[in-house]
Chain A
Amino acid sequence: MGVSEHLDTADGGPLRAAVIGCGAIAYEHLPYLTSSPDALLVGLCDRSRALAEAARNRFGAGTVYTDAEAMLAAERPDVVHVLTPPQTHDALVRQALAAGAHVVCEKPMTGTAAETAALIEAAAAAGRVLVESRNLLFNDPVIALLAMIAEGRLGTVRECDILLSLDFLAGPFGDRNLAGPGADLPAGAVHDFLPHLVYLFQALTGAETADAVHGELANRSGNARAGFDFLDALVMAGQVRGRLRIATDVEPSAFRVAVRGSEASVETDLYNPFMRFDGPPDTGKRAPIGQMRGGFALVRAGFANLRNKIGQHGTTHGLPRMLAATYAALRRGDPPPITPAEMLATARLTDEIVALGAGR
């Protein structure tokens, strides 16, 4: 059965949505699911009944389950959001597909491209849509960057530097009180964030594959629970160069994205967004004018960020937009905003970067 056939059964009403996993990321999905006319939250599932009940108490909807199979059988959801730790995704995604549901899965969907390919095949065989979250593509500064690139303001994109500096060891990924790995993935804690950097690089440069990947994937803190906590990767893709970095030992927290093209360069930050554009007409002798413009733009960004922090417009503000686009596509029977080919390309490049840690 195809997507549109399946949606005929939705009878024009909202799609029945269910969530598996009621941890931190669920609190980013649930506001959309409980406020959009396109979604009706019917089920909340977590191995911890208390956490599932906490989510229901907060969002006021959904029947609580501790067993995914039981929820799928009882609620027959149209869409299942798999929001559990990555090592559990494969089995849960397959369960949801087998129950006839479309699936939105948090990133990383799997630990390897081969596993991603297998899940994509499973979804195709079931005639269901499978979407791996890439919410940052829907954030304001990324949308602005993509628009600048599409308009040709940068010329031909040559370089893309992305730096994520975040002390994630202070959270569950590095919590030495907890047993087992913080992230049960080939590249440990780094792997949990890496897909963001990879899909941003691919979207901003248009490069899907790499000719070569150089660099270092390491554990610099000595915290074994993290697995890997440091990445500095140089990605060569035709005329495009990319540098992707993840570090826990530098301050302040930042998610810097710089794109340089044959005509101009632009830099932003996804945690405290600003937009610094260096290019025509303010180049050469007019460069000081450009710097002054940049200064005013920075002041405006400061006020906007202050307003955003008070108004709780945070780094995950793209997630409800991504979900809205996904649900709209499901209702219309259109291709989803994140395609299987894009998911697979991201997983393959991620594999190449993760290989930097081989043997460590």
Chain B
Amino acid sequence: MKVFVTGAGGFLGRAVVDAALAAGHEVLAMHRPASLPAPETQPAGVAVVAGDLRQRGAWEQAVGEAEAVIHCAAAASGDLPTQLAGTVLATENLLAALPARLARFVHVSSFSVYDFSAPGWSGRFDERTPLEPAPLRRDAYTQTKLQQEAMVRAACRETGRVLAIIRPGAIFGPGKDWDYGRAMRVGGLDLIFAPLSPMRLVHVANCAEALVAALTVPLGGEAVVNLVDDEQPTHWGFHYRAKRAGAPLGLGVPVPYLAVRAVGVAAWLASRLFFGGRARLPEWLDLPRQQVRWRGLSYRNDEAKRVLGWRPRVTLTEGIADTVRAARQSP
């Protein structure tokens, strides 16, 4: 299958290109013009497409040749206008360029679209968990990923195209370590908030293989799948194991979730009293975003295994080891 991969130069996109090649697909890998890879570095079966989804251009012709798309590109940081351009406008342009014959669209969504206050006491968190009903209380990433997913869904329904929406948890691997579970560093101490809450990790190679599997498995119209690895370490456990693997970490100091929430309530009150509720708070003080990152929930991957026939290949131990190794080798 000829697969068009957006964001192919990114952390996930690079792994997706590798996984697609390994699965025998021909890859059209879209890279931004300022960071094009040298042609000689590209393996056979990969054609580099230069372009930026924020602007229409010659890349649209390459999309026209594709049989399927894996849409990894998004702006994961920056202010709202930056993320609107890099995620929403980019996706609008991509959807407008899709050829009628395109058989399948694999969309990389995110856990951030969910309502993390919705799960009950059991903490069960799966594909039936509701989407965030009030995006404005969350950050720009959630707002733009929600709109992006809605746009993709509407476009695929309109054209009758098969759509796989893949919502990965926290993708980790060489180049992305999520600070090994610590919330912040104070001197030589690593503060670990909600030390016993699971981290919803998925290794980048496992994530890429699931996305590639979504290209070919039988799907009836539309499928939504969450991705997490089999083994979910707690924040404290991740920190401990990474430190043992050689990560340059300080002494882990656990801060119970209830204490984090208490500080959040105090910040919320201060915002209401002194700033009319408009205070711009960092994640660790902002009640809705505290829940997203630190609430103790039970993440599952049954649906991913059932729908995609996927099995996470890289274990947590291997994933931590290659992440730490890559960090030590980087300048």
Chain B 251-281 near chain A by CB (<8 Å), digits 1 or 0? 0000000000000000000000011101111
Q: Is A176 an interface residue (CB 8 A)?
A: yes
Give Cα A251 to B262, complex, Å. 38
Q: Which of A24, A49, A311 is close to B278, meaning CB atoms less than 8 Å apart?
A: A311
Q: Which of the listed residues A23, A172, A178 has the most CB atoms from chain B within 10 Å of its own CB? A: A178
Instruction: List residues of B (50-81) whose CB comes within 8 Å of A's CBs.
Output: 52, 54-55, 57, 79-81
Q: Is B179 an interface residue (CB 8 A)?
A: no
| A24 surroundings in chain B (CB, below 8 A) | 79, 81
Give the contact stretch, choosing among A52-60, A73-81, A95-103.
A52-60
Q: Is B186 an interface residue (CB 8 A)?
A: no
- The answer to whether A50 touches B91 (Cβ under 8 A) is yes
Chain A 299-316 near chain B by CB (<8 Å), digits 1 or 0? 000000001011110000
Report B229 CB to chain A, min CB distance, Å: 33
Give Cα A307 to B143, complex, Å. 26
| B35 surroundings in chain A (CB, below 8 A) | 177
Q: Is B38 an interface residue (CB 8 A)?
A: no
Closest residue of chain B to A176 (Cβ to Cβ) is B34
Report B283 CB to chain A, min CB distance, Å: 14
Q: Is A51 an interface residue (CB 8 A)?
A: yes
Closest residue of chain B to A311 (Cβ to Cβ) is B275
Closest residue of chain B to A172 (Cβ to Cβ) is B85
Provided the pairs A178-B52, A179-B55 are in contact, do residues A311 and B81 lie with their beta carbons within 8 angstroms?
no
| B131 surroundings in chain A (CB, below 8 A) | none
Q: Is B301 an interface residue (CB 8 A)?
A: no
- The answer to whether B92 touches A48 (Cβ under 8 A) is yes
| A50 surroundings in chain B (CB, below 8 A) | 88-89, 91-92, 147, 151
A-B contacts, 28 of them at CB < 8 A, read A23-B81, A24-B79, A27-B80, A48-B88, A49-B92, A50-B89, A50-B147, A50-B151, A51-B88, A51-B92, A54-B147, A58-B80, A172-B85, A176-B34, A177-B33, A177-B34, A177-B54, A178-B52, A178-B54, A179-B33, A179-B57, A309-B280, A310-B275, A310-B280, A311-B275, A311-B278, A312-B278, A312-B279
**A interface residues with partner B (beta carbon < 8 Å):** 23-24, 27, 48-51, 53-54, 57-58, 171-172, 175-179, 307, 309-312
Interface contacts beyond A177-B32, A177-B35: sample of 14 additional A-B pairs, CB < 8 Å, sorted by A: A27-B81, A50-B88, A50-B151, A51-B88, A51-B89, A54-B147, A175-B34, A178-B52, A179-B52, A179-B57, A310-B281, A311-B276, A311-B280, A312-B278
